[in-house]
Amino acid sequence: MPPQAIVVTREEAGQKLLQFLARRFALPQAMLHRWIRSGQVRRNGGRCKPFDRLEMGDEVRVPPFAASMSERADVGPVSASSDAVRNVPDAAASRPAPSRHDRDGHDAMQPSRQRRPKADTSLQPARPLPPVVAETPDLFIFDKPAGLAVHPGTGHTDSLTTRLAQHFAKAPFMPTPAHRLDRDTSGLLLVARSYAMLRTLHEAFASHDALVKEYLAWVAGCWQPAAPVTLHDRLSKGAEASGFERVASDDEGAEAACTVRCLLREQHRSLLLVTLHTGRTHQIRVQLSRRGHPLLGDRKYGGPPRMGGFLLHAVRLCLPSGVVHTLLPRWAGNDALPQGFILPEPLGPVPASAIHADSACPCPRAPSDRDEGPDRGEADTDTVTEGRDA
């Protein structure tokens, strides 16, 4: 069997060679490294290195047994379009596929780490994707509903990524979320349709000022500051006795900053607009709770009970291109937004120096959890809580 040559598509361009192979084949990285090192993987007919960046149209040759090994892992390789994969005659075509006792053949028998969620191969139809707010050839913006996790986790297998794997099982590059939202957080979610867009979004998130994310939240208590207030904390991740993730304030934790504006005050609750400057796990939930204003329904961080989980919605995204996307929440009943509600203009980017400078914070930091003693709030009843942004 002759070696297989795969042509790099536009969506895949920009990846490192090792990333490209890991997405195409569900095989251990150590094996892929050996193939590259030994010359069994070639780029445009020549030797290559694991971290070479690929360009659109590059031809990557892989061993003829790569596909069958990936199939044994019960995940299967990602198929490209018929004109992007072809057989190339080569002197190495006579090389027999390795036996179970060969080094590579032995590795292929071992469980491999999946590079993408395994698509459901049952006869049941794929679960629907969330509504698409906007799309380009390189980007989806989804309206993620509360209750749908971004990634699968303990106690649940349904997630946005598993649904994407079902709908885009044959795509050269599976659409990939560029950030996370907690399972009970609703609203705008960016999903890259190409590696170049994924990298662009990650760089924008890392710069703190190139991409603005804003959230609406109903919190307990009457928020007092009339002007925007920037909150600063240091947060670190830990685990509860039950094993669920929990974030706490820690002097050695990562810097977390957000700016809060109060849009509506009532006697026992307030509607806040929160602009994130960093993207820490559970950041909004923890920072507001530490000021005595936990989200309504967020029992993990001391919020009053509420049917249906907490009320946090990713309402606006200001992209590096200057395009702004806004999506108001469809909260109902007493939680619905007032009739004629108008979202204020975004605050705009905040310099990194202001994010990390304590003097930029109009209110003092909350005291460390080490000074408060153990949390004695109500136990969390969520199956899993995940995400980096809220």
**pLDDT tens column, 171-225:** 888 899 999 999 999 999 999 999 999 999 998 988 876 889 999 999 999 999 9
For residues 131 and 142, give the distance between their C-alpha atoms in angstroms, rounded to a whole number: 6
Average pLDDT of 345-374? Answer: 48
Q: Which of 135, 133, 189 is nearest to 160 (CA)?
A: 189
State the residue for tokens 């299967």.
76
Structure token pair of residue 249: 């304030």
Pair type for strands 186-192 and 312-318: parallel
Please report how many Cα atoms fall inside a 13 Å half-sphere around the Cα of residue 20, on the Cβ side: 31
Structure token pair of residue 191: 């999903």
Handedness of CA 179, 183, 185, 188 (dihedral sign): positive
* Coil, helix or strand at residue 20: helix
* Coil, helix or strand at residue 356: helix
Structure confidence at residue 382 (pLDDT) = 32
Structure confidence at residue 10 (pLDDT) = 87
Q: Which residue in the list 182, 184, 233, 389 is annotated as catalytic? A: 182
For residues 286 and 300, give the distance between their C-alpha atoms in angstroms, rounded to a whole number: 10
CB 79 within 8 A of CB 24: no
The confidence band for 388, taking pLDDT boundaries of 50, 70 and 90, is low
**Which of 106-110, 119-123, 151-155, 264-268: highest mean pLDDT?**
264-268
Structure token pair of residue 281: 């796990």
Whether residue 290 is predicted with pLDDT greater than 90 in this model: the reply is: yes
Query: Which carries the bigger pLDDT value, residue 151 or residue 124?
Result: 151
Structure confidence at residue 22 (pLDDT) = 85
Structure confidence at residue 241 (pLDDT) = 59
Instruction: For residue 98, give every residue at least 6 positions away whose Cβ sits within 8 Å of its Cβ, in sequence order, or none.
Output: 65, 104, 105, 108
The confidence band for 73, taking pLDDT boundaries of 50, 70 and 90, is low
Mean pLDDT of the chain, nearest integer: 78
Q: Which amino acid is at 265?
A: R
Q: Which of 197, 146, 145 is nearest to 14 (CA)?
A: 197
Whether residue 89 is predicted with pLDDT greater than 60 in this model: the reply is: no
Whether residue 375 is predicted with pLDDT greater than 80 in this model: the reply is: no
* Coil, helix or strand at residue 199: helix
CB 187 within 8 A of CB 329: yes
Please report how many Cα atoms fall inside a 13 Å half-sphere around the Cα of residue 115, on the Cβ side: 22
User: Is 182 among the catalytic positions?
Assistant: yes
Instruction: For residue 4, give every residue at least 6 positions away whose Cβ sits within 8 Å of its Cβ, in sequence order, or none.
Output: 61, 62, 63, 64, 66, 67, 85, 87, 88
Structure confidence at residue 78 (pLDDT) = 44
State the residue for tokens 């994310």.
213
Structure confidence at residue 251 (pLDDT) = 81
* Coil, helix or strand at residue 252: coil
Whether residue 348 is predicted with pLDDT greater than 70 in this model: the reply is: no
pTM confidence score? 0.70
Give the bridge partners for 25, in sequence order. none
Structure token pair of residue 349: 């980017």
Structure confidence at residue 381 (pLDDT) = 29
CB 380 within 8 A of CB 299: yes
Structure confidence at residue 189 (pLDDT) = 97
Pick from 58-62, 336-340, 370-374: least confident: 370-374
Structure confidence at residue 274 (pLDDT) = 97
For residues 288 and 359, give the distance between their C-alpha atoms in angstroms, rounded to a whole number: 19
- Dihedral in degrees, nearest 10, Cα atoms 290, 293, 298, 303: 100
Structure confidence at residue 82 (pLDDT) = 35
